[in-house]
Amino acid sequence: MDYVAQLKALPKQHDYFIGFDSDGCVFDTMELKHKECFCPAVIKHMQCQPVSKAAREVWDFVNLYSKTRGCNRFLAIQYFRDLLKERADVKARGFQPLELKELDAWIGRETKLGNPALQSEVEKTGNEELQRMLDWSLEVNARVADMVSGVSPFPCVMDVLKKGNEMADMIVVSQTPLEALEREWEENGMTPYVNLIAGQEHGTKSEHIHYATEGKGYDADKILKVGDAPGDYKAAMDNNAFFYPIVPGNEQASWKRLLDEGLDKFFAGTFGGEYQQMLIEEFDAALPEKPHWD
């Protein structure tokens, strides 16, 4: 499957374009996935059993409660390793996280940071460290498939999708694996409202928006990214687009405001300036950069 070609082939049917993140934004799944699926698997495969309490705290900070919230899972491993090895309590126990130099090198040369690309790299090189990371990622997916079900979208999400669908071309822009995204959107009857579901296999969030809109005649002030993480904000900025934040901890009110005023301002051409700046400042204040244990 040529995922980039899929994005490029999307037809322009409206003057406006909206990209929605999924985990933690549309669905209240972030806590469940990271605490019950990602973290137990990372402790196992990164051999962090001797410092499991610290490891859990670091993983949750990286993925839920900081400015790296919502990042790609393999980037999260890097942030996790770097923060864990600097903790005083971890050093006191003489624990050294795995170095993962091969993972660093792979991330440095690969943009599609998902299981298909990593599987291909493992088959090509036979590298044991990358195999460990692939085993971890596959176990995460299995845990998610087993654990995460029956999770409905936040209140007002369906109303936003229906309202936005009348005026805009809309896609999912996410770093979640495609299989999980398609399952979650399908079981909630939401797929008819988006033109495409783009996951980590399609590249970065910035690339999703770029390839879906490039050369199709969308004005920059008619492209909007909706998300709950700094990576969503970056994807908007990389494409000179607007950003509407679903503020972590205040998701329901964020969706109601998007329904009641945000979409109207976007479609009326009054989203920019003071309104956009107010939203960004509010979002920035919600997520710390440094961990509290520093």
- Positions of the chain with pLDDT lower than 70, given as ranges: none
Cβ contacts of 87 within 8 Å, gap of 6 or more: 54, 58, 293
Contact assessment for residue 235 and residue 173, using Cβ atoms and an 8 Å cutoff: yes
Beta bridge mates, 198: 173
Sheet containing 242-245, strands listed edge to edge, beginning at the edge strand earlier in sequence: 196-198, 168-173, 16-20, 223-227, 242-245
Measured distance CA(202)–CA(173) in Å, rounded: 9
Measured distance CA(70)–CA(248) in Å, rounded: 11
pLDDT of residue 162: 97
pLDDT of residue 60: 96
pLDDT of residue 177: 85
Q: What is the residue extent of each domain of the chain?
A: 3-28+154-286, 30-147
Contact assessment for residue 228 and residue 248, using Cβ atoms and an 8 Å cutoff: yes
Task: Please state which CATH number belongs to domain 3-28+154-286.
Answer: 3.40.50.1000
Per-residue tokens: 279: 């939203």
The structure's pTM equals 0.81
Contact assessment for residue 222 and residue 15, using Cβ atoms and an 8 Å cutoff: yes
pLDDT of residue 238: 97
pLDDT of residue 119: 97
Per-residue tokens: 217: 């005649």
pLDDT of residue 151: 87
Q: List, for residues 224-235, the tens digit of each pLDDT value.
A: 999 999 989 999
Measured distance CA(87)–CA(294) in Å, rounded: 8
Helix (H, G, I), strand (E, B) or coil at 121: helix
